[in-house]
Structure 1
Amino acid sequence: MKTNWFNRLLLSYLPVFFIISLSLLLMTFLTLSEMSKKASVKANNAVSHNISKMIDSKLADIDSLFLYEIQNNEKIKQFFSDNPKDNRHYTDIQASSALKELLQNNPTIESIYLYRTPDRTILTRSTLTDLNDFADSQFIGLSLNSRVPYRWTARTLVPQNTDGGNARRVISLAKNTNLSNLSILIVNVRIESLLGWITSMTDNNSTFVHLSDEEGNLIVSTEATANGKTSNMGAGTVLSSSVSEQTGWIISSGTLNSGILEFVSSLFYVWMAIAAVIVIAGLTWIIYVSRRQYKPVMTLMNMISGARKASPTQLKTEKVDEFKFIESSIEELLDESNMLQEQHKELSVYHRRHLFLSLMEGTNSTANFGKYLEEELSRHGIHQPVSGSLVAIVEIDHYTEFAIQYRSDQHLLKYILGASMKELVENKPFTVWTEWISNSKMGILFLFHHQESEQEVLESCEKLRDWIALNLDFTVTIGIGHLIQQLELTAESFREAVSAVGYKSSLGMNRIITPKHMVSKPKGELFKQLQVFRSISQSFRLGDEKWEDYYEEMYQTLQDQLYTHDDLASLMQVLIGYLQKEMAELTEELNKVWIEDVQPSLLMALEQETQEEVYQAIHDILKDAYDRLNKLRENKSSHQLMHQVKMYIADNYCNPDLSLTHLSDEFQLNAKYLSRLFREAFGMKFVEYVSEVRMEKSIQMLLETEDTIQDIGRAVGYDQSLTFIRVFKKHAGETPGQYRKKYSSI
C-alpha cells in the first residue's frame, strides 16, 4: 500500500515541528540563562559581602594583636622608653628578638619595624638604622605627618640594601606606641596573603574578585598577573561590589566572560523576539497546511453521511469528531462482519455437538437416519464411509478437587485432553471425534472406515490415560463400550461406556474399564447388608468394640460385589439411617454429639469417589465418634457399674430368670434405679438389650448348627418355644425356621 498522503503530511509538518521546537528550546535556554544570571548576581553579592567581612576580620585580628603587643610586650615597651642612650644596647637587642618571634608566629606578615622619634632610630628584626638611611623612610614620614587616624594602606615596599630582593606589594598599618614622643610601629602584610584569603572563598574558573582602595586603585585581584596588573584575557562583567567598613576598600566580583554565551545573553530580548516570531509563523503554517489536508477527510465524511443518511450540516451542529465518525462507521461494518462469522462458528459448533449427542442418545429413529448421518459427517470433514463405531467415556477423577484447583484453567486442560487423544491416533486407521458431554466426562467416538480393531482403541486409550497420569496433576478413568457395526446404533456402545465408567467406585480409578470387567463381579444387593448394618449400629450404640469387626465384614462383602457410585452412596445412606435410629435412643448429651458433628461428616464422606475412599472416610469418622462417646460415658461414675452389668448379661443370657429383679439382687441396687442407669448408659431398656443379645446368639446358632428350634430357644433363655418364635419374628421379621431356610442356602 502506498503512503503518499502520509509522506505529504510528514513533509508538511516535520520541518515546522523542528523549527518551532528549536525556537522553544532557544527561548527556554535564554530564560534559564537570564534566571541563572540573576542568581549569579545574588551569589556574587553574597561573595563580595563575605570577602569584605573576612578581610575586615583578618586585619582586625592583626590590629588587635599588635595593640596587645604594644601594651603588654615589655621588650617592645623598653625600646620606646626614655632610657639613656648608653643603656639602650641591650633593650634594642631584646626588642629585635621580639620582632623575630612575632614574624615567626604570623606568616602573613611581611615585616615589622619600630621607629623611635627622639633619636630617629628604626629597629627591624635584623638591623638598627637611622631614619635617613632607611629605605622605607618616606612612608614613616608620611605616617608621622598624617592628620588622619592610622589605617591600612596598600603600597609598594622598597627593601633595604641589606635585605636584597625586589620591591613588593604590601598593605601597611602604623600604630602609635608612645604618644608623648610620637614613636610608631609599622606592620607590613604580604599582598599574597590577602589574595590567598580571597581565592579561598571563590572559584577562580568562573568568578573574579577585585580589591581596590577608596580612590579606585587596584590592590589585589584574582586575575592579577605577576606584576600586579589585571589581565584582559579573562575579563568579565562586574555583578556586585561591597565596601569594607574598617578599611573603606571596595570589593568587586563578577563572572568571567564565556564567549558566545555572554554575547547571546547580552541580546536576551532580541533573541526572544526572534524566537516568538518564528513560533507564530510556524503555527500559521500548520493552520494553513491542516486546512488543505482536511479536504480529503471532508470528502470522505460527505460520502459516509450520505450512506448513513446524515447531512454534513447535521454532523457539524452535533459536533461530531470526524475521525471518530469514520472510525465508528468502519467499526460497525467490521463488527457486523465479525458477528456474522461468530454466529456461523457458534452454529457450526452447536450443530456438531447436537449431532454427536444425537448419536450417543440414539434419539432419532427415522428410516433415513443412517444416510443423514453420512451427510452430516461429510459436512464436518469425515468423507470416508463408516464401517463401525465404538464409544469411550473419559471421566476426570476427583472432579470436585479438579474444579477447585483449576478454577480458571479448566477449559484449557479439557481442550488438552481432546487434542492429546487426536494426536495419539493421528496415524491410526480410524477417525476420532471428541465432545464434552458433562463437566467431568468427555465422550470419544471412534469411527472405523475399513478394518475394525478394538485392540488398537484399547491401546490408544491406555496411552492417553498413561500420558495424563505422567504429565498432569490429575488422573482419568476411561470406560469403553462394544464395537457397533451400524453407525445409527452407536447409542448402545455409549450406554455401555457410561455404565463401565460408573463402576469405577468398585473397580478403582485411573484405569480402563471394559464390559469384560463388569461381569467379573456380581452386582451388589442391598438386602444382604441389612443384617450387618443392624449389628454395626447396635454395637456402636452400646459402645461395643465389635462394631469394627462388623464394619470390616461389611467391607469385605462390598469388595466382592460391584456397585456404581450412586448405588454405593445409597447403601451407605441406609447404614447412616440405622446408626441415626440407634443413636436416638442415647441420652440427650450423647445424641447431641452425633447430630451436630458425626452425622454431617458421614454425609460429606459419601462424596468420595471410590469404594475404598468411602469406606476409610466413614470408618475414621465412626472411630473418632466412638472414642468421644466412650469418653463421655466414662466420665460418669456409673459407667463402670453398667459395664459390669453388661458383662454379666453376656455371660448369663441363657438364664430364663434373668431380669431386673435378679440383677438388683446380684448388684445390691434398686431395680428402678438400675433400669434408669442402664438406659442412660446404653440408650435402650434392659429388656430390649437382653432380647437383642439372645436374638444375636440364636441367629448364630440357626446358621451354624443343626439344633432344633426348641433347643436353640432354651439355649438362649426361653423355656417356651412359642415365646422364642414370637420374639424372634418381632426382631427379624420372620420365624426362626424361615430365617434358617432363607439364609442357610446363601
Structure 2
Amino acid sequence: MSLRKIRLSKQSIIVSWLLSYISVLLVPIVISIILYTATWHVVVSEVNRANEALLQQMEQAIDNNLSGIERLSVEMALSKRLAGFINAPKPFSDSDYYEIISLAGDLRVYKMANDFIEEIYVYYKNSDTVVSTHEPINSRKLMENISGQESVNYDEWNVFFGKRYIQEYAPVTLSENGQPVKAVMYAKSILLDNPEQPGAVILFIIKETKLLENISPMNQTTVAVIDKNNQLIASHGPKTNYSEFLSYDRLAGKNGLLYGELSGEEIAVSYTTSKSSGWKYVSIMPSELFDEKMKYVKKLIYVSLTLSILIGGLVTFLFVKRNYNPLHSLIRNLSTRSGISFEEGSNEYGYLQAALNNTFAEKERIGQRLEQHRNAIRSHFLQGLLKGRLDQNVPVYESLAAHNINLTSPDFAVLLFQVDHYGKFMETGFVEPQKVRLVHFIIMNVAEEVAGSRHYAMAAEIDDMLACIINLQEGYETDDLTRIAEQVKQFVQDHFHIRLTIAVSGIHQELEGITGAYQDALAGLEYRFVMGSGEIIRYEDLPREGSVRESTSYYYPLPVEQQLINFVKTGDYEKSKALIDEVVEINESDASLSVPMAKCLMFDLISTMLKTIDEIGASDKREFLNRVNAVDRLTACETIKEMKIQIGDVLRQVCQSIQEERKQDNNLLSQKVIAYVREHYSSDNLNIAMIGEAFRLTPSYLSKQFKAQTGEALLEFINKTRIEKAKRLLSEEAGSIMEVARRVGYSDINTFNRVFKKYEGITPGKYKDIL
C-alpha cells in the first residue's frame, strides 16, 4: 500500500488535517480584516479630531467677539442719553435734532470700541425714528437697509420689533454697492422703568465675512453656524445648499459626527455646540477624503492576504504530507503484519484502533492461555530485575535464556514512563481498562522499537508505570538515552496526542545494577513535582548532596517575603504575582532544589499571603479564608506548576479583597480635600504640595486621586473657589481690588487679574464697574 493509492475522502484523517490547517490559515486573513477596520476607524477619528479643533477655534473666536458685543449692548442699554430720547414725540424740535446728532456721535464711539461691528442702529418705537452713525431714518428705511434687495415684509418686521423685550440674533442681508452681503443682526431692548412705554431697540450689524475672517477651513470643507431657531447665521466654503440636510434638532448632543448624502455626494458632518449662545458650529467634508487616506492601507491589506493564501497553502500542503508519512508508515506496517487491509476512504485512526483490537484478539486466539502465562511470567521476571527480587533457586542466566533475552553488554539503564494524558484515546468508546492497556501497548512497542535501533530494549509494566530496560551496546554516546526518550515522547505526542513524563536513569554495571538504575528513574519521576508534567527528567540533573546550596533549603529570604507582604497589603496583584514568579523561577533554575523543599516553598508562599490577611485585620477574614481554602487546593496539586496556578488564583482573590475593603476609605479623600480648600483658600501658600503634606500624600498621587473621584483638576478647583469668593467680595464693594486679591489668597495682583479673566472673561475692575 503506497501513499499514491490513498485518496482523499470525508473520513480520511488528511481531510481533518487540511481543515485544521485551513482554519489556522484563516487567522492572518481575519487579522488583516480587523486591522483594516481598525485603521479605518483611526483615520476617521484623526480627521474628526482635526475638524473638532477647527470648530472649537471657530467657536472660541466667534463667542469671544459676540460676548464683547453683548457687554457693549449692556453698557449702551444703561446709557441715560440713549434712554432719554425714548419719550421724544414728533414733530421734533431743534433741540431734538441736536440730540439726534449727539446720539449719532455716541454710536460712532461705541462702534469704534469693537472692530467686529459693521453698523449700530437705535430704533425708537414712540417716534418711529432710527438713529445710526450716519443720518437718522425711519423704520421702513431700516428694514430696507438690513434686507438688501429682497422684498421686505414690513408687517413681519413690526411683529419682531413689537415684542416687549428683545435679545436675540437674526441673519440679515445688507446691500453693498448694489450687491447683497450676508450679515448677522443682534437686537437688544433698552429696559425702561415704566414697562407701558414703547421703548427702544439697539441693533448691531455684523458682516458674515467679519464673523468668519479668522476661520481657515481645510480644502473642500465647509463651515457653518446654525442658531437655536434653525436659522443659518453664517457659512464659508464650497457647500451652500446644505439646509436640506442639516437641522438644529438633527445635530443632537454637544458634539458628534454623522454621515449622509448631499446633492448626490456622500459627506461627513462634524459639529459642536457653543456653551454661551447654544449655536451649532458645523464642518462639512466629502467622505471621499477618508477613502484617499485608506488607499495605501488597502493595497497593503490585499498584498498581505495574497501572500497569506499562497504561502499558507504551500506550507499546509508540506506539513500535511510530512505529518501523514509516519502515520501512513505505521498503518502500512500494521496492515502487513495484521493482514487487515486498509480500505480507501476510511479513517486512519479508526483503522488503527480496529487493527490494534484485531491484533489483540488474534494474539489471544493464537497464544491462548500459554501465551498469556508466558507474557505474565516475562513481565514478572522483568519486574524482579527492576526491584532486585529474583528467584534465588533459578540461575538468572537460565531465566534470561528462557525468556529469549540476549544481553551483550554490562551497561544498563532504565527509562520510566508516566502517562499524564491519554490524548486521542480519551475520545474513544473504550472502557477504562481497555484504554490503559492499549496506550501502554503503544508506548512499550514504540519504546522498544526506538531503543532497539541501536541497543537492546525490554519494556514492562510496573506499579501503574511503564519501564524500559536498555542494554547499551558498545560505542554508545552519553546522550543516547535522552535522544531515545525525546523520540518516544515526540512520536506518541504527534500521532496520538499522548503526553508523557519520562525519567532517565544513570548508567549502571551488570544485572545487579538494573535495580540501582530503576531507583534512579524513580527519583527522577518523583522530581516531576518540581519540573512539571510532560518533561524528560534525567537523574544526572537532580539535586546532589554537596551542591552550592543543599536541598535542605530554598531561596525565599526575609526581605523578599517582606516585599511580597507590602505588595499584597497594597492590593497590587501585578507586582505581587511578578515577585512570586521570580522566586519560583530562581528556585526552579537551581537544580539542587529537592521535592520536599519545593513543596515547603509553595506552602511558605501561600502562608505569607494568609499572614498578610491577618496583619491588615480584614473584617471578613474568617469567611474569606474558608472560601479560598488555600491549603487543600495546594495539597491536591501534583506538580509545582499546578501549585503556581493555585497560588496565583489565591493571590488574585486576596488582592481583590484588600482593594475592595480600602476602596470605601479612598472615596472620602476628595470630600476632605474640598473642605480643606474652602477653609484655607485665603492663604497665599495654598497649593497642591501644601494639601498633600496636610494629608501625608505625594502631590502627584493626590492630584490623580482627586481628578479620578471628582472629574476636575485640583488646581482648577482651588482657582475656581478663590474666584467665587472674590466675586462675592467685589459685589459687596469690600475694599480695593488689591485688597480683594489678598483676601482670596493672591499676593500678586497680576496673577489675580489673569486668573479672574480666564474664568469670567473680563478683568476684576471691569466686573466691579458693571456691578
Tell me which interval the TM-score lies in, with the shorter structure as reference length: 0.3 to 0.5
Q: Which has the larger radius of gyration?
A: 1
Normalising by the residue count of structure 1, what TM-score does the alignment of the two structures yield?
0.35
Normalising by the residue count of structure 2, what TM-score does the alignment of the two structures yield?
0.34
